Structure 1
Amino acid sequence: MSVTSSQKLNKGELTQLLDVARESIRGHFSDELPRPPQLDLYGKKLLRPGACFVTLEVDGELQGCLGTVTANEPLVLEVHNKARDSAYQDRRFMPLTEEQLDRLMIEVSVLSEPQALEVESEQALIDYLENHRDGVILSDHHLQALFLPQVWQQLPTPEVFLRHLKQKAGWPANYWSDTLTVKTFTVTSIKGRYFQLSDAF
């Protein structure tokens, strides 16, 4: 089965995905029932299964961020669903309100397929991340945590990045285990306001 990679999308296709995310959120505030994207309007690459995250910010503060690392559905549908989920299903935040829309920023991140990284120690992982500011997934038994590459902007050193990632999974900051698995990935992303300039006229 062909899968959409983050490296294969051009700016026009990413812009289409951003519009899909906007429409998914807009549909919640419409008098009509929200509708999924009309698939025959999109090219082959956007119809392939793809993994993505949709991140929402209001006044520069995180308002929601949900996604998947597994490509199960057509990418355009995955973006539609994850935009809706980030706006109304992220349990860390109150659901998005209509009053927040004029201050809303949306970012769509399309993921590459995660690759297993063999490291023998946390220091080896830190050394790798010094030169590779990738997205990271840590897993051990039933616990898992993921940070997108964009998180490096807020947590710029590998030590701090990993400490927060482990805390997100529910582990202590100094946690390490021989059974811990590490995967890395990259993203291609696009970010824009919920209201486009043309919406103001």
Structure 2
Amino acid sequence: MSVTSSQTLNKGELTQLLDVAREAIRGHFSADIPTSPDFSLYGKKLTTPGACFVTLEVDGKLQGCLGSTVAHNPLVLDVHNRARASAYQDRRFMPLSEDQLSQLTIEVSVLSTPQVMEVSSEQTLLDHLATEKCGVILSDQHRQALFLPQVWSKLPKPADFIRQLKLKAGWSADYWSNNMEVKTFNVTSIKGKYY
């Protein structure tokens, strides 16, 4: 089974995915909108399995962000499902309400396949991230945390980026283990207003 690579999507295809996310959220408020996308409307790249994250912000503040790192479903369906989940199932936030829609922005990030990075120490990882501003997944002892590459805009220093990622996973800021698995990935993304 082939997997959609983030590098293969053009602006038109990304715009279609943003529209899918909008429709998924709109469908929560209207019974007239189908509960899943019509695959016949989309080309092969968007109906091939893909992994994505959908990030929602209301008035510039995070309102929801859920996604997948492994491609199981057609990309267009994954975007639809993740948009609905980010709006109404992210347990960190109250479900999106209709009065927030005028201030809502949606970002769809299509992930490349995460690659395992061999690191001998945390410093090796930090040195790599000094020049490569990629997405990072840390995993160890049944805990895992992920930051999309967009987080670099808020945490531009590698040490701060990794420290906050470890806190997100539930580890202490200075935690490191010889068993720590590091995966890196890139995204192709598009962001737009709900209206």
TM-score between both structures, scaled by the size of structure 1: 0.96
Structure 1 residues not aligned, in runs of 5+: 196-201
> What is the match of residue 198 of structure 1?
none
Preserved contact between residue 47 and residue 74 of structure 1 (Cα < 8 Å): yes
Range with greater deviation from structure 2 (63-72 or 25-34): 25-34
Structure 1 Cα separation of the partners of residues 17 and 93 of structure 2: 24
Say if 2:22 is the partner of 1:27: no
Preserved contact between residue 113 and residue 185 of structure 2 (Cα < 8 Å): yes
Write the letter of the residue equivalent to 1:62. L
Say if 2:172 is the partner of 1:172: yes
Structure 2 Cα separation of the partners of residues 32 and 94 of structure 1: 24
Structure 2 Cα separation of the partners of residues 25 and 181 of structure 1: 35
Q: Percent identity?
A: 71
Q: What are the superposed Cα offsets for residues 89-128 of structure 1, whole Å, 9 maximum, x if unpaired?
A: 0000000000000000000000000011111111111000
Range with greater deviation from structure 2 (26-35 or 179-188): 26-35
Preserved contact between residue 21 and residue 83 of structure 1 (Cα < 8 Å): yes
> What is the match of residue 82 of structure 1?
82
Structure 2 Cα separation of the partners of residues 76 and 98 of structure 1: 24
SS class of match (1:131)? coil
Q: What are the superposed Cα offsets for residues 134-185 of structure 1, whole Å, 9 maximum, x if unpaired?
A: 0000000210000000000001100000000000000000000000000000
1:35 to partner: Cα distance: 1.4
Structure 2 residues not aligned, in runs of 5+: none
How large is the RMSD of aligned CA atoms in angstroms? 0.8
> What is the match of residue 52 of structure 1?
52
SS class of match (2:55)? strand
Write the letter of the residue equivalent to 2:71. A
> What is the match of residue 36 of structure 1?
36
Structure 2 Cα separation of the partners of residues 33 and 129 of structure 1: 43
> What is the match of residue 8 of structure 2?
8
Write the letter of the residue equivalent to 1:115. Q
Write the letter of the residue equivalent to 2:194. Y
> What is the match of residue 105 of structure 1?
105
Give the 5 Å matches for 1:144-163. 144-163=144-163
Give the total of aligned pairs: 195
Moved over 3 A (4+): 31-34
1:34 to partner: Cα distance: 4.7
